[in-house]
Structure formats: structure tokens, C-alpha cells
Structure 1
Amino acid sequence: MIGMGKSISHTGASMGYGWDAEKEAKVVYREHLAGDNPKEITQEFSIIQAQNHRCKKNTLSFVLSPTIEDGRDLKDKQLAEITLRFVKEMKLQERQAIAFVHHDKVHIHIHLYVNRIGFDGKAYKDNYVGKRSQQAAEKVAQQMGLTTVREVQQEKLNEVKNIREEIKQIHETVISEMKPKDFDQYLKYMKQNKVEVIPSINKSNQLQGFRFEYKGHNLKGSEVHRSMSMGRIAQRIEFDKAVTQRIVKENTLDLLGKTVSVAPNLAVTLAKKVIKISIKKTIGLGMEL
């Protein structure tokens, strides 16, 4: 479950959004309020807020979002309990408050509005209220056996890890078995294996690197694996000698039907590769003789 919070000044507009019939809004929590519509609730807030003219952002607005999976099973009673526990964690008891649940989307979420001004006229301290909202929501999720933000983040990390490994394996297969002769072939063979390789070209028409799009994820080469930077990919591609010489001499190459410039370090990398290949061939000829 995710918790977000902030102080606002537009109480009436926010209350109207929260209590919107088109969004199938339903009140699941209220404290020290009698009104039956956004206007009446706003007026009740205003009576207490009139005691403190210095505080301009005098309403606290929170959004509590269980995961889609958790939300499917939560009834209004449980949603009310989530709100009550959150209010206690934030130490906002004994204040005017109202919460609505929107059922118009698959992702159920709670909108909670609390009067920042207490009955004593003092304003609730909103230092780091966003961070504290996250922490309070985390505690409530743990108390009620709901999925926490950390668990969601870990699931995403695990998913990305698997995606990275799959892309790396496809890359190794393409390089080792399909043996592309240039970047165009590399992009083509990767695409045949369901990986879209997207060249990153800056405003100066210089090739900066590659991004890899696979199963809804878009990652830089270095994010996939350190061996998948543009330079390291170039080292493993068997470029034609004439093409390599042109890259080294002109700092340009043909990619997807266009001529793009390349960073000097890539040209240097390819130049070193040409030298190594030439040395190996010379040694090989010497051995034959």
C-alpha cells in the first residue's frame, strides 16, 4: 500500500473531487462532521480554520492506495479500518476528517481530508508530511497483512533482474551464433528474438549508445549488463575492415539507413581491434612460413 500526503489550501475543490458521484465515491470514514455534501463539509472545516488566519494551507490531503490485488478483496469495513489506523499513526485523532473511496477504477484508493487546524486553533505540523504518510501507510499495511511498498519494490526488482538476464542471454546467442557483421545486423537479429534495440542519438546526430526494449521494459545497455555498452558490443561484432577504417577515419557509420557520427572513444576502440586483428594475422602468417 502506498501513502501520499500534503497540505492544501483549495479545500472546497478537493472535497468536491473526493466526493464525486461519477467516480462512485463512498464515504468510509468521518469524524466530527455532519454535512451531507462537499459544500457543507467545507463550511464546517472553515469554521474551525477561522481560528488560525496565519495558516493558509489549512487542510491535509492524503491518498491511500492498496495494490490492485489487495484492493479486489477489501470491503468498505476494511477500507474504513485502514483509514482509522492511518489517522492514528499520523496522530490526527480528534480532528475533523472525512474519507472517500473511489470505485470507478480497477485500482481502488482512499481520499482522506483532515482539518489541519485543531479545535484549539493550532495547526498540525506538516514537516515531511509526505514521507511520514509513506511510513504510516507501510505500518498499516503490515498490521493488516497487506502488500507493503517495500514488497512491491522488491517484486519489481526481481522482475527487472529476470528481464535483464533474458536480454543478456538473447544478446549472447545473437553475438555467438548469428555473428552480426555490423550494428544494423545486430539490431535486426535482436529484433527477431523479440528484443527491440533502440539507438540513442543526440541532437548533434551522434550515436550515444543503445536502449533495449523487452516485455514492457526499456533499459540502457549498461543497466542490462556492463558488457552491453555500445563499445563492448562493437568489440564483439566482426565489422568489415573497410567499414571499420571509415569509422576510425571519419568518426561516422551507417545505421538504419542514415549516417551518424560516433564518439571518438568508439572509433579508438575499433582502431585497437583492427590493430589486434592485423597482429594476429601477421603472427599466423609467420608461423605458416
Structure 2
Amino acid sequence: MIGKCKAIAHGSTALDYIFREGKLGYRLAFHNLCSREAKTIYEEMKVVSDHNSRCRNKFLRIEIGIAPQDEKKLPVSELMRIAHLFAKQMGLDNHQWVAVTHKDTDNRHIHIIANRISLYGEVYDTTFASNRAARVAEEISREKGLTIAKEVKAEKKYQKTKASPTREQTKQQVQKICYALLEKYKGTGITGHSMFLYELNKNGIAIERMKNKQGNVYGLKFSYAGQSFKASEIGREFGYRSLQKNFEPTEKKELHAAGYQLVPPSHSSISRDNDTPRVQNPIGAVADAIVGAADEVVEGLGDLITPSTHGDDYTEAAWQRKLRNQANRKKKRGRGL
């Protein structure tokens, strides 16, 4: 058995969720409550919670997961006892709470929504609440002879490896290809990065950028032979940010002295007193050379690199840098006049 606990503000939404038709299994317990439906339970809880105007997250969401091998040992009556025992050991005797089971997944689980404000107006302390819930779940599991969380995790990991040997073999193939190409192009700058992506695609490996709801990239996913793997499964070097760092030039000191970076910053049109044309010209020449090389590589690859493998991003970045460099050179010539 495993337990989780978190303070939330959206009590009404949480209650609607646990009572949703198609998910609701059994109604296990209603503690310090008269109502039996989501809307009226929320109204009862709100009467109590409104006495505290400073607390923002006025509800507790608790989830109790049951191991598959323990489900047959636990009839509804025993689940009711577990819900009451769990709430008691969590210190919720003087709070309003409701417990139900859900049937929408393969594994049975219990949901408890509690009023964080007690009947006496006290605010439940949520410091390390999730750790407390995990400890209570482990204690109850030992008491009742159920599987504890660590054993469930170990069993899932074992079953996953045993059930899908093909996936493990495919992952090893992807790792072999990725590490070989990384070793080949490591420290070779933006050109090497582009060639790394091209050869991955040539070997049948596609990289997909994972985005959140705001459209920001937060990770990479590698696909090969009908299998998909998170970057962390392939290796720590292949994360979204760490992968790019691997292509930074090895001779950093010399290149930084020449003003080069893997992704050069935009060249400001504001010059410093210490800057001289003698220093600025080599910087522009090096930047132009790098941009030109990257342009040739990316343009030569064409559509062979999938859109999800940064090809479009590098093409656009290289083009924007070239335009900025040209504009800055025109401004410098203008100042000389």
C-alpha cells in the first residue's frame, strides 16, 4: 500500500472528481458530515473553512494505492476500516472528510478529501504531509500483512523488464548508436550538433521535443523500431539541456578569446571605449565562418532531419545571426563616416 497527501485550494473540483460517474466505486466513509453528494459536502465544509480567512489551501487530497496482489484480501468492509485508520493516524479526527474507492484503473485505490480547517478552527499542518502519508501507509501495511510501497515499486520494475525483453534490447541498440555518435561529434560546435542529429535520423532514430501546456520544451523523447524512450532512459548526456552542452568546443579558452560561443549572443550595437576595430574584426570573421558552416550543413540536410530534431531551430538561429552581423557591420561603417 502507498499513500500520498497534498494541500489543495480547489475543494469543489476535487469532490466532483472523486464522485464522478464512471470512476466512483464504493462510498467508504463520511466523517463529521451529514451530506452524501459532492455539492452539499463542499457547502458543509465551506461553512467551517470560511472561519479562517488567511489559509489559502483549505482542503487535503489523500490517495491510497492498493497493491494488485492485496486486492483479494480486502473486501469493502476492510477498505472502510483502512480509510478510518488512515485518517486517524493522519490526525484528522476533528476534521471533516469523505473517502471513496475508484474503479477507473486496473489497481484499486482510495481517495480521501478532507477539510484542512478543523471543527475548532485549527489549520492542519502540512509540513512533510506526503512523507507522513507514506509512513502511515507503510505502518498499516505491516500491521495488516499487505505489500508495502517499496515492494510494489520493486515488483513493477521486475515485471516491466521481464514482460518486455524486446524493449530492453531496443533501448540498448539506441544507447549504442547515440553514444557512438556523441563520441564522434562531441565538442565540435553547432556543426557537429547538426551532424549528430542527421546521423541519428539516418540510423532510424527520431527525436521528439516534449512540450508543456505553455509550449515550452522540457525534455526529449527518442523513438526507434516502434519503441519510445525518455532521454533519461538512454543516458544522462542526452537530456534536453545536457545534450547541447556536449557539443561546446573543447578548446573553450581559445574560442572565447576569439569571441565564439556555441550559440553566439546577439552583437550589441553599443560599443565600449576599450573596443577597437582590430579586436572586433576577428570576432566578426570567426562568427561569419561558424554561421556559414552551420548554414551549409543544415541546408545540405534538407528534409532528412525530422522537424522535431532541432533542424528548423538551427536554420532559423543561423539566419538570424547572419542578419544581425550584417546589420552591425553597416552600423560600424556608418560611425566611421
Range into which the TM-score falls when normalised by the shorter chain: 0.5 to 0.7
- Cα distance in 2 between the residues matched to 1:93 and 1:79: 18
Does the Cα contact within 8 Å between 2:30 and 2:36 map onto a contact in 1? no
- Identify unmatched segments of 5+ residues in structure 1: 168-190, 223-257, 259-289
- Cα distance in 2 between the residues matched to 1:60 and 1:105: 22
- Cα distance in 1 between the residues matched to 2:47 and 2:97: 14
Offset at residue 221 of structure 1 (A): 8.1
Q: TM-score, normalised by structure 1?
A: 0.58
2:194 to 204, 226, 233: 204
Residue of structure 2 in register with 1:149 after alignment: 149
Q: Does 1:117 find its partner at 2:117?
A: yes
Offset at residue 220 of structure 1 (A): 4.5
SS in 2 for 1:155: helix
- Cα distance in 2 between the residues matched to 1:37 and 1:65: 23
- Cα distance in 2 between the residues matched to 1:157 and 1:108: 19
**Are residues 151 and 42 of structure 1, via their aligned partners in 2, closer, same or farther at CA, if it must alter by over 3 Å?**
same
**Are residues 111 and 42 of structure 1, via their aligned partners in 2, closer, same or farther at CA, if it must alter by over 3 Å?**
same
**Are residues 22 and 155 of structure 1, via their aligned partners in 2, closer, same or farther at CA, if it must alter by over 3 Å?**
closer
**CA displacement 1:172-205 (0-9 Å, x = unmatched):** xxxxxxxxxxxxxxxxxxx8xx922113267533
**Are residues 217 and 82 of structure 1, via their aligned partners in 2, closer, same or farther at CA, if it must alter by over 3 Å?**
farther
Superposition pairs for residues 176-195 of structure 1, below 5 Å? 195=169
**Are residues 28 and 9 of structure 1, via their aligned partners in 2, closer, same or farther at CA, if it must alter by over 3 Å?**
same
**CA displacement 1:4-63 (0-9 Å, x = unmatched):** 110011111110101122213321011110112101000110011011110110111101
Matched residues, number: 197
**CA displacement 1:121-146 (0-9 Å, x = unmatched):** 11001111112111111111111111
Superposition pairs for residues 241-280 of structure 1, below 5 Å? none
- Cα distance in 2 between the residues matched to 1:38 and 1:3: 23
Q: Does 1:39 find its partner at 2:29?
A: no
**Are residues 217 and 147 of structure 1, via their aligned partners in 2, closer, same or farther at CA, if it must alter by over 3 Å?**
farther
Residue of structure 1 in register with 2:64 after alignment: 64
**Are residues 83 and 132 of structure 1, via their aligned partners in 2, closer, same or farther at CA, if it must alter by over 3 Å?**
same
- Cα distance in 2 between the residues matched to 1:79 and 1:43: 26
Offset at residue 110 of structure 1 (A): 0.6
- Identify unmatched segments of 5+ residues in structure 2: 183-192, 206-221, 237-303, 305-337
Does the Cα contact within 8 Å between 1:28 and 1:100 map onto a contact in 2? yes
**Are residues 157 and 35 of structure 1, via their aligned partners in 2, closer, same or farther at CA, if it must alter by over 3 Å?**
closer
Deviates more, 1:137-146 or 1:46-55: 137-146
Matched residue type, 1:68: P
Does the Cα contact within 8 Å between 1:2 and 1:148 map onto a contact in 2? yes
Does the Cα contact within 8 Å between 2:3 and 2:65 map onto a contact in 1? yes
**CA displacement 1:147-196 (0-9 Å, x = unmatched):** 11111233356568989xxx8xxxxxxxxxxxxxxxxxxxxxxx8xx922
Matched residue type, 2:195: N
Superposition pairs for residues 80-119 of structure 1, below 5 Å? 80-119=80-119
Does the Cα contact within 8 Å between 1:18 and 1:25 map onto a contact in 2? no
Matched residue type, 2:133: S
- Cα distance in 2 between the residues matched to 1:205 and 1:135: 50
**CA displacement 1:247-284 (0-9 Å, x = unmatched):** xxxxxxxxxxx9xxxxxxxxxxxxxxxxxxxxxxxxxx
Does the Cα contact within 8 Å between 1:19 and 1:26 map onto a contact in 2? no
- Cα distance in 2 between the residues matched to 1:113 and 1:45: 10
**Are residues 153 and 34 of structure 1, via their aligned partners in 2, closer, same or farther at CA, if it must alter by over 3 Å?**
same
Calculate the aligned-residue CA RMSD, in Å.
3.6
SS in 1 for 2:34: coil
The percentage of counterpart residues that share the same residue type is: 25
Q: Does 1:29 find its partner at 2:3?
A: no
Matched residue type, 1:105: T
Does the Cα contact within 8 Å between 2:18 and 2:24 map onto a contact in 1? no
Matched residue type, 1:69: Q
Does the Cα contact within 8 Å between 1:96 and 1:115 map onto a contact in 2? yes
